Amino acid sequence: MPEAVIVDVARLASGKGKPGGALSATQPVELLAHVLRSIVERNDLDPALVDDVIGGCVGQAGEQALNISRTALLSAGFPESVPATTVDRQCGSSQQAAHFAAQGVIAGAYDIVIAAGVESMSRVPMGFTVAGQNPYGPSIAARYPEGLVGQGISAELVAAKWKLDRETLDQFSAESHRRATQAAAEGFFDREIIPIDVKNADGETVTHSVDETVRASTTAEGLGGLKSSFYSEQYAQRFPEINWHITPGNSSPLTDGASAALIMSDTMASKLNLTPRARFHSFSVAGDDPVFMLTAPIPATRKIFERSGLSIDDIDAYEVNEAFAPVPLAWAHEFGADPAKLNPRGGAIALGHALGSSGTRLLSTLVNQLEATGGRYGLQTMCEGAGMANATIIERV
């Protein structure tokens, strides 16, 4: 059985996911095309050898419709013979793409595959794909008669259940910005960030290579002055336990971005004289209560530990997506995780959460962290819409 190895993984620097953001003037297909083109060029790989491109994207409508992964590879100049598909597991879409890619290699269905992701939240806003319609049928209404809720309310429920106060959430969020700022200053992100030429607000061509969502001046005290984002009388009556701690400061920002991982069999890497950076060790995916929605990383992690035979003590770094501060904090509480190993270079609160791109963005940071520290095992997990999560364990080689 072949091993699935990561030869390279890279991303664009984050852009604010709103008009005027650094990447907002560039169509999402061009963002993804640039990453795909760059990752084969910097590994001197003939793109004709790629068996498939599997891309993640959540907002598959408008400029991100019609299988954007295929459109992007054609835009990147790949041969027409290279196929592609686009998957949606909500925020974990590109992490799922990496799972499918690696599992295909292990099964012998692929020799070389690129897992990728893209999201332009400035050009395809959240909720755009619903098109004003109700995506839930009568059976969902019958099963959840009080109604499902948005992720902001779910984050409030998680904070209440794990008794996470406002100060704790804001301190964690400020630390995310501090770590990301320090990592950038030390050049940690240089290997994973692919520069891209874009148009700025004045129509001039500039090179974007620094995460736009990181705020070096962020402090817990400053975040403490922000108001709750999701308070409503309706939910206050339905969920009296909520303390209304979730704000823009302890949530991930709207973000534009794209990322990709070059994955292949260990045999093919050797044949092409490419040096693997890590191998896929274990996978899991889990579901949980869709009202709490954001808690599935906990059962997904339990499942992957059972399957891998590893424990939290074996893991040298963990990337737990910071969709909202309560998510990684609740996860860390359940596993007794070392805070120093949790998102050690900052997380999505600082580095941004470009939905469909986040899975391979986290993977790029995790691979680089293991290499920088000499660590062996890394774990990645993230919450996903409707109460799901992927978990991945990689091993540095």
**Tokens, residue 180:** 């990301």
| H-type alpha helices, 162-265 | 166-185, 220-223, 233-238
Q: Residues 34, 57, 91, 177: which is the catalytic one?
A: 91
Give the whole-angstrom CA distance, residue 155 versus residue 293: 8
Give the whole-angstrom CA distance, residue 142 versus residue 38: 49
Give the whole-angstrom CA distance, residue 250 versus residue 319: 17
Catalytic, 383? Answer yes
3-state secondary structure of 394: strand
**Tokens, residue 175:** 């630390």
Contact 231, 50 (CB under 8 A): no
Q: Residues 57, 99, 281, 383: which is the catalytic one?
A: 383
Contact 360, 392 (CB under 8 A): no
Q: Could you give the count of Cα atoms lying within 13 Å of 287 in the half-sphere of its Cβ?
A: 5
Catalytic, 91? Answer yes
109: phi > 0 → left, psi -120 to 50 → alpha, else beta; which? alpha
**Closest to 379 (Cα-Cα) out of 303, 298, 326, 312:** 312
3-state secondary structure of 86: strand
Catalytic, 353? Answer yes
Q: Could you give the count of Cα atoms lying within 13 Å of 108 in the half-sphere of its Cβ?
A: 1
Which regions of the chain does DSSP assign to beta strands (E)? Answer: 4-11, 15-16, 52-56, 84-87, 112-120, 196-199, 205-208, 255-265, 278-287, 317-320, 377-384, 388-396
Give the whole-angstrom CA distance, residue 93 versus residue 243: 31
Would you please indicate which residues are annotated as catalytic (active-site) residues? 91, 353, 383
